[in-house]
């Protein structure tokens, strides 16, 4: 590969943490070539020279590289968690206030969703404040306008909020001023130390950002997030990022589908450690409510009747998006379509395990994750998730062994990247 192209990708990684392998080198190459075409440049070395001395062009490259995939009420589990915690705290301390950070805020759908959700649940507007930050100035400018098209309204939960808090016009939907006033938008890069922020947050939502980082960059981000989080605060990550959480900094609260983490100095840390099996009760396979997708009698019943014929292949990113939207049945079907098209691999089996775990089917989750590890013994996410499942079901000895293997993989990956 062209050394200048590698240096351009390295610059992207240094600036925004993007690991090109997470979205594919071909995608990154197309993005770079697109900007080169706009600048009438045909050689990578010439474009590298340009972005090295021209901040404006570097900003343009960064802007189109940032992936603003979001929509209103994408996942309300963390909102439910935050609402319940605020209510519980107010029962003892009615004057308590809460600071919330949304990172990355992208084009604003997440922080606006949370503000609408809390106000709709009769949480006073004086009770909470929301900071919304992103590396993309363009995304922040879009968010501040508060004007959205149909693509921002997807899924199940947005409809009543759209009717109550938006005004429809010729261009789309304009969010009400009372919601806009609740959000403070400003630029911030989680990979940099934030000396300008003089306060810490009760809740931080950082979902579907860390999946684009390599192991070393993830660790740096997790440390910086910890420095922004109050000792008694909560950090929410995406389901795909759960396996990379450093357990020397954070611990799972047990509210699994919210993917909420606490720091080791959180007041509840010892309680969660001692009563972990009470926080997440093991589920026996025969006591589970059957999932609709599993009513098919065999594998072929699932894969030969897709809802819509398509010439495009199922991708792991599509599976990830479905699972992230809590569309577990569709995500599982997409996994099976993926297997039918490409065969089994460690990544798709990891997703099957994750989906089963989110639906409390620990038996199926364990089966898929063990198979993933069989195909790829150093699949970190599968190793760490399997250790969590075994811990839930009471097999602490096996859980410890898989956790050690996961830490060894993490350490080896980190050492390799430092060379």
Per-residue tokens: 264 = 């080791």
Q: Which of 259, 278, 297 is the last residue of a domain?
A: 278
Residue 296: inside a domain, yes or no?
A: yes
Whole-angstrom distance, CA of residue 4 vs CA of residue 41 = 13
Residues 6+ apart with CB under 8 A from 85: 203, 234
Instruction: Tell me, yes or no, whether 136 lies in a domain.
Output: yes
What is the pTM (predicted TM-score) of this model? Answer: 0.66
| Overall average pLDDT of the 96-100 stretch | 96
Statement to judge: residues 264 and 367 lie in one domain = no
Among left, alpha and beta (phi > 0; psi -120 to 50; other), residue 47 is alpha
Task: State which residues form the domain around 40.
Answer: 3-65
Grouping H, G, I as helix, E, B as strand and the rest as coil, residue 392 is helix
- 209 closest CA partner among 303, 118, 106: 106
**Percent over 90 (pLDDT), the chain:** 33
* pLDDT for the residue numbered 116: 97
- Residue 389 makes CB contacts below 8 A (sequence gap 6+) with 357, 362, 365, 366, 369
Q: For residue 310, what pLDDT is reported?
A: 42
Same structural domain, 162 and 32? no
**381 part of a folded domain:** yes
State the pLDDT at residue 55: 84
pLDDT beyond 70 at 304: no
Rounded to 5, what percent of the chain is helix, strand, coil? Answer: 55, 10, 30
**In a shared domain, residues 143 and 30:** no
pLDDT at 83 over 80: yes
* 375 in a structural domain: yes
- CA neighbor of 105 nearest in space, from 226, 13, 209: 209
Q: CA 56 to CA 402: how far, in whole Å? A: 47
Predicted confidence band of residue 107 (pLDDT cuts 50, 70, 90): very high
Tell me the mean pLDDT in the region 225-239.
Answer: 91
132 and 228: one domain? yes
Mean pLDDT is highest, among 235-249, 267-281, 402-416, for 235-249
- Asked whether residue 70 is assigned to any structural domain, the reply reads no
Domain CATH code at residue 259 = 3.40.50.150
pLDDT reading at 283 higher than 70: no
- What CA–CA distance (Å, rounded) separates 87 from 151? 33
| Final residue in a domain of this structure, among 239, 254, 278 | 278
- Report the chain's mean pLDDT, rounded to a whole number: 81
* Residues 299 and 264 placed together within one structural domain of the fold: no
Do 268 and 317 fall into the same domain?
A: no
- The total of other beta-carbon atoms located within 10 Å of residue 137's CB is 12
Predicted confidence (pLDDT) per residue in 374-414, tens digit: 888 888 888 888 888 887 777 878 888 888 888 777 767 65
Q: What angle do CA 138, 139, 140 make, to 5 degrees?
A: 90
Give the CB-side neighbour count of residue 179, counting CA atoms within 13 A: 27
Place of tokens 């860390």: 210
Residue 349 lies in a domain: yes
Q: For residues 328 and 243, state if they share a domain.
A: no
pLDDT score of 195: 58
pLDDT above 70 (res 62) = yes
CA atoms within a 13 Å half-sphere pointing along the CA-CB vector of 135: 23
Q: Give the model's confidence band at 68: pLDDT under 50 very low, under 70 low, under 90 confident, else very high.
A: low
Q: Which of 412, 357, 351 is nearest to 387 (CA)?
A: 357
Residue 104 lies in a domain: yes
Least confident of 10-19, 98-107, 216-225: 10-19
| Residues 228 and 213 reside in one and the same domain | yes
Range of lowest pLDDT (49-53, 255-259, 275-279): 275-279
Q: Which residue, among 90, 71, 336, 115, has the nearest Cα to 208 in the 3D structure?
A: 71
Give yes or no: residues 344 and 297 share one domain: yes
Name the least confident of 18-32, 282-296, 328-342: 282-296
Which band of pLDDT confidence, cut at 50, 70 and 90, is reported for residue 215? confident
Q: Which of 226, 253, 278 is the last residue of a domain?
A: 278
Q: What is the pLDDT of residues 194-209, one digit of tens each?
A: 656 878 999 999 987 8
Higher per-residue confidence, 68 vs 209: 209
- With bands split at pLDDT 50, 70 and 90, how would you rate the model's confidence at 126? very high
Q: Let me know whether 81 and 107 are in one domain.
A: yes
Q: In the prediction, which pLDDT does 89 show?
A: 94
Task: Tell me the CATH number at 341.
Answer: 1.25.40.10
Q: List, as one string, the DSSP characters of 156-172.
A: SS-HHHHHHHEEEETTE
Place of tokens 């301390």: 93
Domain for residue 72, yes or no? no
Is pLDDT at 243 greater than 80 in this prediction? no
Q: What H or E segment, with its residue span, contains residue 174?
A: strand 172-175
Q: What pLDDT was estimated at residue 230?
A: 95
Q: Are residues 59 and 140 in the same domain?
A: no
Taking the CB of residue 381, how many other CB atoms lie within 10 A of it?
22
286: phi then psi, degrees, rounded to nearest 5: -80, -5
Asked whether residue 28 carries a pLDDT value surpassing 90, the answer given is: no
* Structural domain count, the chain: 3
Cis status of the peptide bond prior to 314, with omega within 30 of 0: no
Q: Do 81 and 173 share a structural domain?
A: yes
Residues paired with residue 168 on neighbouring β-strands, in sequence order: 173
């Amino acid at each position: 590969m062209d050394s200048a192209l590698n240096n351009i990708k390295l610059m992207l990684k240094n600036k925004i943490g993007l690991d090109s392998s997470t979205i594919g080198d071909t995608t990154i190459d197309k993005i770079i070539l697109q900007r080169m075409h706009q600048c009438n440049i045909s050689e990578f070395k010439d474009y590298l020279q340009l972005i090295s001395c021209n901040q404006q062009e570097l900003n343009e490259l960064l802007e189109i590289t940032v992936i603003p995939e979001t929509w209103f009420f994408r996942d309300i589990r963390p909102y439910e968690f935050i609402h319940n915690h605020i209510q519980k705290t107010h029962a003892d301390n009615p004057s308590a206030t809460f600071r919330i950070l949304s990172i990355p805020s992208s084009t604003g759908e997440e922080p606006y969703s949370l503000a609408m959700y809390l106000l709709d649940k009769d949480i006073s507007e004086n009770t909470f404040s929301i900071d919304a930050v992103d590396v993309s100035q363009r995304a922040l400018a879009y968010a501040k306008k508060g004007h959205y098209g149909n693509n921002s309204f997807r899924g199940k939960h947005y409809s009543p909020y759209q009717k109550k808090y938006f005004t429809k016009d010729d261009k789309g939907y304009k969010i009400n001023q009372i919601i806009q006033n609740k959000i403070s938008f400003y630029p911030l890069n989680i990979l940099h130390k934030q000396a300008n922020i003089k306060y810490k947050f009760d809740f931080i939502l950082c979902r579907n950002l860390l999946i684009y980082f390599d192991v070393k960059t993830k660790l740096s981000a997790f440390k910086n997030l910890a420095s922004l989080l109050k000792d008694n605060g909560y950090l929410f990550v995406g389901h795909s990022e759960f396996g990379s959480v450093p357990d020397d900094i954070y611990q799972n609260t047990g509210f699994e589908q919210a993917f909420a983490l606490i720091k080791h100095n959180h007041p509840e840390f010892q309680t969660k450690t001692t009563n972990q099996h009470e926080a997440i009760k093991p589920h026996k396979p025969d006591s589970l409510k059957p999932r609709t997708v599993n009513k098919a009698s065999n594998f072929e019943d699932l894969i030969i009747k897709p809802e819509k014929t398509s010439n495009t292949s199922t991708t792991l990113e599509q599976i990830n998006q479905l699972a992230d939207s809590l569309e577990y049945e569709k995500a599982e079907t997409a996994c099976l379509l993926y297997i039918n098209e490409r065969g089994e691999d460690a990544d798709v089996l990891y997703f099957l395990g994750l989906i089963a775990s989110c639906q409390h089917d620990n038996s199926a989750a364990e089966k898929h994750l063990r198979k993933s590890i069989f195909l790829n013994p150093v699949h970190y996410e599968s190793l760490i998730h399997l250790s969590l499942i075994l811990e839930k079901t009471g097999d602490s000895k096996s859980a410890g062994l898989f956790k050690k293997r996961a830490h060894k993989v993490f350490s080896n990956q980190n050492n390799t990247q430092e060379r």
